[in-house]
Amino acid sequence: MPDLVTITIDDVEYQVPNGMLLTDAAKLADIDIPVFCSHPKLDPLGACRMCLVEQDVRGRWMIVTACTIRVAEGLKFRYASEAAVQAREDTLEFILINHPLDCPICDKGGECPLQDQTLKHGPGASEFQEIKTHKEKRYPISDLIMLDQERCIVCWRCIRYLEEWEDKPQLGLFNRGGETVIDFFPEQPVDAKTSGNIIDLCPVGALTNRVSRFRYRPWELKRTKSICTHCSQGCNVRLDARIHQLRRVVASENMAVNDEWICDKGRFMHAFVDAPERLTTPMIRDHKGGELREAGWDEALALTAQRLAFTADVQGPAAVGAIGSAKLSNEAAYLLQKLMRGLVGSNNVDHRGGAAVLADPRGLSNMRDVEQADVIVLAGVDPAEEQPVLATFIRRAVRRRGAKLVILHPRKIEDTRYPGAYASYTPGEETALFDSLSKALLKEKVVQERAAKLPGYAELADWLHSAAVGDPAAADAARLVLNAKRPLVLYGPAVVSGRNAAANRSSLMNFALLAGCAERTYYLAPEANSVGVRDMGLLPASLPGHALVGDLPARERLERLWGAKLPSDAGLACDEMLSAAAAGKLRALYLVGSDPASQGPAGMAALQKVDFLVVQDLFLTESAKLADVVLPAVSWAETDGSFTNLERRVQRAPKALANPHSQAAADWLIFTELAKVWPAVSGEAKTEASRKSKRKIGDAPRLWSYANAQAVLDEISRAVSMYDKLTWAALGDEGKQWPWELPKAEAGRPAGGALPTAPRRLVIPERRSASQVGADFPYTLATGRVLFDGGTLLRQTEVAGKVAAPVAVGINPADAAREKLAEGQMATVSSASGQLTLAIHLDEAVRPGTLWIPYSLPGAPVETLLTSASDGAGVRVRIASQKAG
């Protein structure tokens, strides 16, 4: 409880918390002091003079700005006095002198603080007769944001946001007096990854969204509070729809998740929802080699159910597989694996980045924890590109609390600009660096004393002692972490995937244990529902709730719930399914939101081999082009769904719009309808004749009747122990983090069981064989996610092309000189499994001896170079300038 002080406003005394800004304190007293420049998320400045009030200063009443004054005992103010009202009126009249009469064509009109305050506090008439000043009205400050300098009221909010949250002072004020304009610095358009937030912040229509410009008036939008599904942060957004189209996305406040910010991908890249290329009707290919033709749902579903059941009966359930995606909602992921396990009888179900990644289900404990840390270790993760809003919290910690960043990354990522330590490693050789860190720690006496109690200490110490590791950069990094009071270790999927995933993880955890921060070491999941689909059991070896498929009690519980016998041996992972398909062992494949064909020739070849391919997606992807049945799905905005973010927060994404001209259906509904037409008795589908005979409908529909997506979530809350009681209603607007406390009325026991604890044992990391080193392939491939890649969803937004990462391979200038490669030149990068053609980009940030190619570049899928997707980075490659002709 902060101490209260007594202040007087207009002769009435109020008790308010000491030190509060007067504008906020007045709000407690129901006095709404108008503001423009003041904003709860930005530091007070006092630039606009809108908030003028009178203050008693040693007996004299003076005009002061309420937004910069902190209240203290005995202060006296006047808000409604004639002088104060006059002062505010004058300020408004003054602001309006040069403000253009643009309201009818201004995007802000209708939700504009300047309009509202002019109505409430303005003089009503203007004495100004002269001609208004003219400035640039159509002035792009980036490919995403347009500035109208005439409308700007010079409140500094945009400038302050970029400074205080992004730490990128990219906008400034130029000229003086009436000529003052906002502008960027020469040749440096705004490129902060969360720049769009300044559009929401601007109190007038000076900054506008170039994707949504002129496509709405605020009063005609249907507004739905939802979440963004572009990354694992799960930022809260508002989806604004008009005539069944998603016209605008704006940020929505959730202090626990995204404060009030979203990144530019979430704000601008939504055209895919309304894209004319969207699939609108099911399609069937009658015979291999034929064309896809449009079909009705009944026909497409019946064919899919019969062929999948038929393959399972004749070839065995293991000949059927399904690959989902980490972008699927919990409901869709849950039903897909229920369909595969319960109806097909196969554990062949996975998603890209599923079984291949040794993810930790714990995830971050609490997003805002980041701001409280004093040392943050980023291992193999680049939040600025992967979770840009989390990156703003990290920068906040650096700027506000002087936090230091310890960055362990193959590339010298942007945040290495901050004080701390940077150590790079060659992808695939992560343990060399992590072990060096542990070794450096072991030199410290406190570590020796503390760690001696840990099981496995003696062995590890011996082993490290003799290990030939000792990265020179490690000593500084280790010392920083050791001396930290609130260290935080964040690592990304790159560290825990590929051949050496287990070794990398033990090696990193050893370091964390020795440094005493194992409980504060967190995995940063990449995709919108990476955490959720794992919880739902969209994995070949684990059931919903992370129980292993071999776990009999867990299986029996689900068998009772689903009324089906479940297979007990682990299924094939994503890559294994594709190789099994290529080898002719997997005969039917169901792809839901995944597109292996676009990831290089190997995936394409695998899909061509299967007898029956079903693709359920938004677009006619490369994989869908090969399918026997294409089922049109809808995006997250067009159906109810829940998603679990990287801190295990389950959040709702309600239906915001629907295209009345499309027959596309929600994933959960497609699975439900498929189950309803599933041939009843196993064996019935065995003969061609019986397949054609009238189907008998079995038990399945009874256990597969969901009135809506929320009913699916109800079942999830019964099937997945951690989601106990997490119904749609219980999630509320803010979402719920599991495990969560039940309301007092329900005995106060924590629902969802306890959180798995961090490992307590030191383990000698056992590396598998080193990657094929040789003169043939002198470089190591480094890859990772960038915010604006060339993914299917992004490509639909026109401006995405302008901001997207260039289709280029990053190479250290020293390596380029040796290879005689110049900037912009076309080159071929090849590995043992394939080759790519890209432009050369000389980049100091790239570690010598490595080549950097981000995921999902349009026309240059880096997956082509990987022997299997689970390899992740660390593949040996060579580079050569492309031969002419």
Partner 1 sequence: MSGLGDVLQGAAQIAGAMGVTLKQLTKKPVTVEYPEEPIAVFPRYRGRHMLRKYDSGMERCIGCCLCEAACPTGAIFVDAAENDPANPHSPGERYAKTYEVNLLRCVFCGDCEEACPVEAIVLTQAIPMPEQNRRSFILTKEQLLEAPDSNIAIRPEA
Chain contacts with ligand FES (rule: CB under 6 A): 35-38, 46-51, 65, 67
Q: Compute the distance between CA of residue 708 and CA of residue 713 in angstroms, rounded to an integer.
A: 9
- Nearer Cβ to ligand FES, position 33 or 543? 33
User: Least Å distance between CB 108 and ligand FES?
Assistant: 18
Q: Does 220 bind partner 1 (CB under 8 A)?
A: yes
State which of residues 132, 215, 450, 718 lies at the interface with partner 1 (CB under 8 A). Answer: 215
State which of residues 5, 71, 192, 207 lies at the interface with ligand SF4 (CB under 6 A). Answer: 207
Q: Compute the distance between CA of residue 297 and CA of residue 308 in angstroms, rounded to an integer.
A: 16
The window from 204-212, 386-394, 599-607, 735-743 that contacts ligand SF4 (CB under 6 A) reads 204-212
- Nearer Cβ to ligand SF4, position 202 or 490? 202
Say which entry of ligand FES, partner 1, ligand SF4, none residue 65 contacts (CB below 5 to 8 A, set by partner kind): ligand FES
Q: Does 660 bind partner 1 (CB under 8 A)?
A: no
Residue 544 near residue 719 (C-beta atoms within 8 A): yes
Handedness of CA 632, 635, 636, 639 (dihedral sign): negative
Q: Does 625 bind partner 1 (CB under 8 A)?
A: no
Q: Does 853 bind ligand SF4 (CB under 6 A)?
A: no
492, two tokens: 């990304």
Say which entry of ligand FES, partner 1, ligand SF4, none residue 213 contacts (CB below 5 to 8 A, set by partner kind): partner 1
Torsion, Cα 678 682 683 684, to 10 degrees, reads: -40
Q: Compute the distance between CA of residue 786 and CA of residue 855 in angstroms, rounded to an integer.
A: 7
Chain centroid offset of residue 403 CA:
24
Site map 154..173 versus ligand SF4, x via CB under 6 A: xxxxx---------------
Q: Does 152 bind ligand SF4 (CB under 6 A)?
A: yes
Q: Does 214 bind partner 1 (CB under 8 A)?
A: yes
Single-letter amino acid code for the residue at 373: A
Q: Compute the distance between CA of residue 97 and CA of residue 102 in angstroms, rounded to an integer.
A: 13
User: Least Å distance between CB 125 and ligand FES?
Assistant: 24
Minimal CA–CA distance to 613: which of 330, 295, 356, 292?
Answer: 292
Handedness of CA 507, 511, 514, 520 (dihedral sign): negative
**Alpha helix locations (H) across 217-289?**
264-268
The window from 107-115, 425-433, 840-848, 866-874 that contacts ligand SF4 (CB under 6 A) reads 107-115
- Beta strand 404-408 pairing with 420-423: parallel
State which of residues 99, 587, 649, 847 lies at the interface with ligand SF4 (CB under 6 A). Answer: 99
User: Least Å distance between CB 148 and partner 1?
Assistant: 9
Q: Does 114 bind ligand SF4 (CB under 6 A)?
A: yes
The window from 97-105, 567-575, 721-729, 738-746 that contacts partner 1 (CB under 8 A) reads 97-105
- Nearer Cβ to ligand SF4, position 152 or 573? 152
Which residues 6+ apart lie within 8 Å of 131 measured at CB?
none
Q: Compute the distance between CA of residue 723 and CA of residue 741 in angstroms, rounded to an integer.
A: 12
Minimal CA–CA distance to 875: which of 775, 781, 737?
Answer: 781
The H or E element spanning position 174 is strand 171-174
Single-letter amino acid code for the residue at 367: M
Q: Does 108 bind ligand SF4 (CB under 6 A)?
A: yes
Q: Per CB under 8 A, which of residues 120..179 are in contact with partner 1?
A: 137-138
Count of residues interacting with partner 1 (CB under 8 A): 13
User: Least Å distance between CB 91 and ligand FES?
Assistant: 9
User: Least Å distance between CB 630 and ligand FES?
Assistant: 56
Handedness of CA 378, 384, 387, 392 (dihedral sign): positive
User: Least Å distance between CB 33 and ligand FES?
Assistant: 8
803, two tokens: 């901001």
User: Least Å distance between CB 188 and partner 1?
Assistant: 24
- Nearer Cβ to partner 1, position 75 or 106? 106
The H or E element spanning position 306 is helix 297-315
State which of residues 131, 243, 468, 747 lies at the interface with partner 1 (CB under 8 A). Answer: 243
User: Least Å distance between CB 182 and ligand FES?
Assistant: 16
Q: Does 858 bind ligand SF4 (CB under 6 A)?
A: no
- Nearer Cβ to partner 1, position 102 or 200? 102
Say which entry of ligand FES, partner 1, ligand SF4, none residue 49 contacts (CB below 5 to 8 A, set by partner kind): ligand FES
Say which entry of partner 1, ligand FES, ligand SF4, none residue 244 contacts (CB below 5 to 8 A, set by partner kind): none
Helix (H, G, I), strand (E, B) or coil at 321: strand
Say which entry of partner 1, ligand FES, ligand SF4, none residue 115 contacts (CB below 5 to 8 A, set by partner kind): ligand SF4
**Phi/psi of residue 737, each to 5°?**
-95, 130
User: Least Å distance between CB 150 and partner 1?
Assistant: 12
User: Least Å distance between CB 752 and partner 1?
Assistant: 47
Q: Per CB under 6 A, which of residues 181..200 are in contact with ligand SF4?
A: 182
808: left (phi over 0), alpha (psi -120 to 50) or beta: beta
Which residues 6+ apart lie within 8 Å of 410 measured at CB?
380, 424, 425, 426, 427, 782, 847, 850, 852, 873
Chain centroid offset of residue 135 CA:
38
Q: Compute the distance between CA of residue 112 and CA of residue 123 in angstroms, rounded to an integer.
A: 17
Say which entry of ligand FES, ligand SF4, partner 1, none residue 214 contacts (CB below 5 to 8 A, set by partner kind): partner 1
- Nearer Cβ to ligand FES, position 50 or 816? 50
State which of residues 49, 88, 151, 652 lies at the interface with ligand SF4 (CB under 6 A). Answer: 151
Say which entry of partner 1, ligand SF4, ligand FES, none residue 876 contacts (CB below 5 to 8 A, set by partner kind): none
Minimal CA–CA distance to 203: which of 153, 249, 270?
Answer: 153
- Find residue 679's DSSP bridge partners: 697
Neighbours of 217 (CB within 10 A): 15
Q: Does 219 bind partner 1 (CB under 8 A)?
A: yes
Minimal CA–CA distance to 519: which of 664, 419, 369?
Answer: 369
Residue 171 near residue 159 (C-beta atoms within 8 A): yes
Residue 809 near residue 840 (C-beta atoms within 8 A): yes
Q: Does 27 bind partner 1 (CB under 8 A)?
A: no
User: Least Å distance between CB 208 and ligand SF4?
Assistant: 9
User: Least Å distance between CB 223 and partner 1?
Assistant: 16
- For the chain, the maximum distance between any two Cα atoms, rounded to a whole number of angstroms, is 101
Single-letter amino acid code for the residue at 614: V
Q: Compute the distance between CA of residue 652 and CA of residue 710 in angstroms, rounded to an integer.
A: 10
Residues lying near partner 1 in the complex (CB under 8 A):
102, 104-105, 109, 137-138, 213-215, 217, 219-220, 243
Residues lying near ligand SF4 in the complex (CB under 6 A):
99, 102-103, 106, 108-109, 112, 114-115, 151-158, 182, 201-207
